[in-house]
Chain A
Amino acid sequence: MIPGLIRRAWLPLLVLGLLAAAPFIGFGAGHALTLLARAMIMALAAVSLWLLVGGAGLVSLGHAAMLGIGAYAVVALDAARITEAAVVVPVAMLAAAGFALLTGAVAIRTSGVHFIMITLAFGQMAFFTAGSLTIYGGDDGYTLYGRSLVAGQRWAEDRLGFHYLCLGLLVAALLGGRVLLASRFGRVLRAARENPERVRALGFSLYPYRLAAYAIAGALAGLAGVLLANAAEFVAPSFLAWQRSGDLLFMVILGGLGSLHGALLGAIAFVLLEEGLSHLTEHWRLIFGPLLVLSVLHLRGGLAGVPGQMAGLLRRAGRPPHA
């Protein structure tokens, strides 16, 4: 059981282990922790998007809106001087899930390219709405008075505390996502991704399953939005921009649609690569773009598929030529 888990998932386990050890192996400085927190928060958002894309086969290009709504829930409560996480987190998750339910009720009726376009359209509506909220700074954004309180404590202000808070939630989301996908509910979603007509012929109406998945993913992205707002202590409409949705989709595809932990690998790789390249040259996007294209072309199964490909290469290399 345990050796099997390590063989199948050593790469994500290694990444999580490194994240846990990071503050003690030379990444304890403020800047490094800020970067890692951003990577973990993006990974959390990517996990929520993976549930839709990899799990249910719903390719959304409006996922940043869910994240942004979670962040703006923090803003709205902050403006009302409510900063207790026990209030902020459920409100933000419910707000994002509510938006997902409302827009999903329309979007889920479509599929394929139409679904991509309609989620993009709803995302842009949320983006422009955020920009028009002059009480929260409009296009300029809103600076929080402070981070959320955890049970009245300024725990989230502590750099290490926040680091492990993000890591803990990320691990919980990965485990929870696994459980969800393995459940009866998840089985219907996964089957419908592969062959919807067959699943309908077995007596399932797909709409309620997909809508529920959309709301669950929205709630999880809302949670990531709360963390993002806390990490930056600032929220702006750019959080909801379609480019952010595109980035998230890219993380998911880069990581691989074969397994949920691909979202973790894709997001961490994306954020670190973006950071590393931007230090090398100001024209980093010229390198980043082609790198992403190459990875999609050559990494079948994404980053999550790398261990399997490596094992295959090793097996082939170890085999005598004429066996």
Chain B
Amino acid sequence: MPEPILDVEPILEVAGLRKRFGGLAVTDDVSFAVAPGGIHAIIGPNGAGKTTLIHQLSGSLRPDAGRIRFAGRDVTSLPPQRRARLGLARSFQITSVIPGFPVLENVALAVQGRSGGSFRFFRAAAGEARLNAVALAALDQVGLAGRAAALAGALSHGEKRQLELAMALAMQPKLLLLDEPLAGAGPEETTRLVALLSALKRHHTILLVEHDMQAVFALADRISVLVYGRIIATDAPDAIRADAAVRAAYLGEDAPEGEWPEGEWGA
């Protein structure tokens, strides 16, 4: 008997997470859970603490308090590389690739990380057909296979975004943390990346931090709203649109111009 979806054990569970920078509570008693499958989005105005939250989830920042459970175990005190090996893959808000490596080798390194046994000293890694085949498949998935031989540093911004996604996919992760994957992408690139994300969500669980509201409402299955370090609502997209507190937070005087497209409200 398949279990009803709501009773499924969450892949990620955050409880009472807190982080202060000096006097500023950037993560303020944050709790939420991500169910396996689909896209859970985190939205919030600039400076709300979204990136800081992602850093704590990925392990590059230590929370002051609270617990993080991932794939059935407490990972609160594990470093990033251990969380990655448990199946947590991330992309960075500021694109982060190995610029001096060819595109294919960036992804092959990701495959190598999961295939174990990198203490190998003799065989040329660039010639390992097994690593390259998986890497090429991941590049194909994000539509970057044609650029496999280019240097990663020479890619356009949007292509680097695609490469980051390919690296994350090549890790065959249980959860993808994506920090503003659309930031800095032009309209055409945005369309392509949104199509890509909506294809990926059929087979992957994604925690998506994104500024582009149109994209978020088109993609997300659930949305958490983060304001001044606190989660003020977690719900389905339609319910979030209708939420009075969310509207107040976004339409208050602190809200940046045009961040919450008016046209979206009635849609």
Q: Taking beta carbons and an 8 Å cutoff, which residues of A are in contact with B?
A: 179-180, 182-188, 190-191, 194-195, 197-206, 208-209, 212
Q: What's the Cα separation between A194 and B106 when bound, in Å?
A: 12
The reply to whether B118 and A185 contact each other, CB–CB distance below 8 Å, is yes
Interface digits, B21-61 against A, CB 8 Å rule (1 contact, 0 not)?
A: 00000000000000000000000000000000000001010
Range of interface residues on B (Cβ < 8 Å): 35 or more
A202-B110, A202-B167, A205-B81 given as contacts; is B98 within 8 A of A194 (CB)? Answer: yes
The reply to whether B113 and A204 contact each other, CB–CB distance below 8 Å, is yes
B127-154 interface (Cβ within 8 A of A): 128
Return A209 CB to nearest CB of chain B, in Å: 7
Question: Is B231 an interface position by the 8 A CB rule?
Answer: no
The reply to whether A209 and B118 contact each other, CB–CB distance below 8 Å, is yes
A183-B125, A186-B125, A187-B125 given as contacts; is B97 within 8 A of A203 (CB)? Answer: no
The reply to whether A191 and B60 contact each other, CB–CB distance below 8 Å, is no
The reply to whether B109 and A185 contact each other, CB–CB distance below 8 Å, is no
Q: What's the Cα separation between A205 and B78 when bound, in Å?
A: 12
Q: Which residue of A lies closest to B85 (CB)?
A: A203
Return A139 CB to nearest CB of chain B, in Å: 39
The reply to whether A185 and B84 contact each other, CB–CB distance below 8 Å, is no
Return B10 CB to nearest CB of chain A, in Å: 22
19 residue pairs bridging A and B, Cβ less than 8 Å apart: A182-B126, A184-B123, A186-B121, A187-B126, A190-B100, A191-B98, A191-B101, A197-B96, A198-B98, A200-B80, A200-B84, A201-B89, A202-B84, A202-B171, A203-B85, A205-B79, A205-B81, A206-B81, A209-B119
B204 partner residues in chain A, CB cutoff 8 A: none
A197 partner residues in chain B, CB cutoff 8 A: 60, 80, 92, 96
The reply to whether B105 and A187 contact each other, CB–CB distance below 8 Å, is yes
Task: A182-B125, A184-B123 given; name 10 further pairs at CB < 8 Å.
Answer: A183-B124, A185-B119, A197-B60, A197-B80, A197-B92, A197-B96, A201-B90, A203-B81, A203-B85, A205-B79
A212 partner residues in chain B, CB cutoff 8 A: 119
Give which listed residue, A194, A202, A203, contacts B99 with CB less than 8 A. Answer: A194
Q: Taking beta carbons and an 8 Å cutoff, which residues of B are in contact with A?
A: 58, 60, 79-82, 84-85, 89-90, 92, 96-101, 105, 109-110, 112-114, 117-126, 128, 167, 171
Q: What's the Cα separation between A273 and B8 when bound, in Å?
A: 72
Give which listed residue, B80, B105, B121, contacts A185 with CB less than 8 A. Answer: B121
Q: Which of B100, B121, B126 has the most CB of A within 10 A?
A: B121
Return B245 CB to nearest CB of chain A, in Å: 34
B60 partner residues in chain A, CB cutoff 8 A: 197, 200-201
Give which listed residue, A183, A194, A204, contacts B121 with CB less than 8 A. Answer: A183
A185-B119, A188-B118 given as contacts; is B79 within 8 A of A200 (CB)? Answer: yes
| Number of interchain pairs (Cβ within 8 Å) | 98
A191-B98, A194-B98, A194-B101 given as contacts; is B125 within 8 A of A201 (CB)? Answer: no
A201-B80, A201-B90 given as contacts; is B121 within 8 A of A180 (CB)? Answer: yes
Return B109 CB to nearest CB of chain A, in Å: 6
Give which listed residue, A179, A182, A183, A199, contacts B109 with CB less than 8 A. Answer: A199
Q: What's the Cα separation between A208 and B128 when bound, in Å?
A: 23
Q: What's the Cα separation between A54 and B235 when bound, in Å?
A: 51
A191 partner residues in chain B, CB cutoff 8 A: 98, 101, 109
The reply to whether A202 and B113 contact each other, CB–CB distance below 8 Å, is yes
Q: Which residue of A lies closest to B89 (CB)?
A: A201
4 nearest A-B residue pairs (beta carbon): A203-B84, A203-B113, A202-B113, A184-B120
Q: Which residue of B lies closest to A188 (CB)?
A: B118
Give which listed residue, B81, B123, B125, B126, contacts A200 with CB less than 8 A. Answer: B81
A200-B80, A201-B84, A203-B114 given as contacts; is B124 within 8 A of A195 (CB)? Answer: no
Q: Which of A182, A183, A198, A203 has the most CB of B within 10 A?
A: A203
Return B90 CB to nearest CB of chain A, in Å: 6
Q: What's the Cα separation between A179 and B123 when bound, in Å?
A: 7
Q: Which of A182, A183, A205, A208 has the most CB of B within 10 A?
A: A183
Q: Which residue of B lies closest to A258 (CB)?
A: B100
B90 partner residues in chain A, CB cutoff 8 A: 201
B122 partner residues in chain A, CB cutoff 8 A: 179, 183
B80 partner residues in chain A, CB cutoff 8 A: 197, 200-201
A184 partner residues in chain B, CB cutoff 8 A: 112, 117-121, 123, 125, 128
The reply to whether A202 and B124 contact each other, CB–CB distance below 8 Å, is no
Return B107 CB to nearest CB of chain A, in Å: 10
Q: What's the Cα separation between A200 and B109 when bound, in Å?
A: 11
Return A239 CB to nearest CB of chain B, in Å: 29
Q: Which residue of A lies closest to B123 (CB)?
A: A183
